Structures are given as C-alpha cells and as structure tokens.
Homo-oligomer: A and B are copies of this chain.
Amino acid sequence: MTKTIAYVLYPGLTALDLIGPLTVTAALDGEYESVVVARDLAALDTDAAVRLGATATFDQVTAPHVVVVPGGTAGTFAACADEELLRWLRTASAAAEVTASVCTGSLVLGAAGLLEGRRATTHWGFRHLLPKFGAVAVAERWVRDGDVLTAAGVSAGIDMALQLVRELAGEQAARLSQLVIEYDPEPPLGPIDWSEVDTAAFAPFGEAALREGLADHPELLARLTG
C-alpha cells in the first residue's frame, strides 16, 4: 500500500519550507506518495510573490504515514490559532509514523499540543517561543525526539527531508534524492557565522509577525509575547 507523506499548506506560509522537503521526498519511488494537503484546492498566497495550490484536501488525507508542517511568519502564527487545521493535525499525527516540521512549523505542532516535553527546533529567530509550548528548544539543524522530527529555519527542511528519506527508505534512496536535486551546497559566502548574528535586531520583526498573525487571538498572543 502506498504510504502518504502529507505537506500541510495554509495561507501565508514560506513556500520554500514546503517546496524544499517536498522535492526531496517526491524523488522517492512508488512506495511513497508526497501530497500537499489544505482545506481546499484553491491556490493560496504565501509570504513571497507566488501562490501555492494543494493537490488534496484535509478530508481526503486522514491517515498519512508522515505529516510535515512548514513554517513562515505572520501566516504561521495565524495557523497556530486555526482550530480546523490543529484538529486535522492532531488526528493525522496520532496515526502517523513521523510528525515533522520545518522552521516555525514546529510552533504549529506546539499549538496542537504535540511538543510537550519534547526536544525540538525552529528558525533561529523564534527559538525562544518553543518553551511556551512545553518543548525543550535546541539549536540543531534537525532534531528527532520519538516520532517528532523538527528542522531549523526554511532551508533546513531540505536537510531534514534527506534525513527522513534515509530513515524511511535507506541511504541509497537518500543519496538518489540528493543527486536528483543536485544538493551539493556552495553558499557563495560560506556557512553562516553565528557569532556575527544579531538576534536582538531581529526581535522587533519577529514580534510584529506575532502581533499580525495573532491579532484576533489575544490570549495566545499574550502567552507567546509574555
């Protein structure tokens, strides 16, 4: 039987959080099928100048083998208060072998109550929010705790998905996915120098995203900014 890897699409997310890992797992052979699942099939705005359209609805995919929640900024905080999405996610996660996230997608897992007592990661600019959902925040590229696999910011979803493919289908399959997407990174300015990163300068941007996304949900906003 085909095993479904379901990527959750919601308005305003960061497209690369979804498209990076989707492209990795889509290279898996017929045993696995990667789908994008949303409330309906309408193309939704993202946080960049592109719209994404799902290929399945929440109603159609109730027991995926893997569920992956991408992140973003304001749109993701709004998703943290989207009861329909959270309800689907709880049900899907309970049935799934692996519940995964990319970037601030882990905060959606947290809002669904799926990170209590677990080690998890997220985008570097929002890591301080993980404990608000009972999680233990760690600064790693990806973190596995039991059946929950969380990735750091945006592009970390590619590394996490290769790790997922390795776990699901073995090293040869992971090498093939890596080769298909020619993932042999050469950042022109080298790796990030974390000693130079000014997280305080990012804080106002992060807080503005929280306030925008949770404008209609003052209780959750207070919990996350308090």
Contacts and interface: CB of A to CB of B under 8 A. Distances in A.
Interface of A: 7, 9, 14-16, 18-20, 22-23, 26, 33-36, 43, 47-56, 103, 123-124, 141, 152-156, 158-159, 162-163, 166, 171, 174-175, 178-189, 191-192, 196-197
Number of copies: 2
Nearest to A196: B175
Contact of A188 (B19, B52, B163, B182): B163
Given A23-B15, A154-B23, A159 B188 contact: yes
Contacts of A166: 188-189
Contacts of A171: 189
Of all A-B residue pairs in the complex, the 4 with the closest CB atoms, nearest first, are A153-B182, A51-B53, A185-B185, A43-B43
A49 B36 contact: yes
A51 B52 contact: yes
A189 B182 contact: no
A22 B36 contact: no
A23 B72 CA distance: 11
A53 B52 contact: yes
A183 B175 contact: no
Contacts of A48: 19, 22-23, 26, 34
A181 B43 CA distance: 23
A22 to B, nearest CB: 6
Contacts of A33: 49
A33 B192 CA distance: 25
A55 B158 CA distance: 25
A195 to B, nearest CB: 13
A158 B159 contact: no
B141 A186 contact: yes
A79 B50 CA distance: 20
B155 A181 contact: yes
Contacts of A47: 26
A23 B123 CA distance: 15
Nearest to A191: B184
Nearest to A180: B154
B188 A162 contact: yes
